[in-house]
Amino acid sequence: MAITLYVGNLPWGTNNEDLTEAFSRYGEVLESRIITDRQTGRSRGFGFVEVKDEDAEGMIEAMNGAELGGRVITVNEARPRE
């Protein structure tokens, strides 16, 4: 089973590999993706990391409020779109 984590306040230069590298210290990352603007292709400053169910809680605790690329990031369980 997998859980998707929301990661906010990312530095503009962060890419999918950076996200995977940062989170893989605390468990297995199945997929990571930075959300980009459709027209410009620039990062929108947030992304999602899909992780194994058993790793999710530890990753949230370890990474929420952590510094990544000079910015303090927000990490929590992603909520479905309304």
Predicted structure pTM score: 0.93
**pLDDT tens digits, one per residue of 52-77:** 999 999 999 999 999 999 999 999 99
Distance CA 82, CA 72 (A): 27
Q: What percent of the chain has pLDDT over 70?
A: 100
Structural domains of the chain, with CATH? 2-71 (3.30.70.330)
Q: Residue 46's beta-bridge partner residues?
A: 8
Among 64, 69, 82, which Cα is nearest to 13's? 69
pLDDT reported for residue 13: 94
Cα–Cα distance for residue pair 19/10, rounded to 1 Å: 9
What is the C-alpha to C-alpha distance for residues 77 and 38, in angstroms, rounded to an integer?
A: 24
**Whether pLDDT at 37 is above 80:** yes
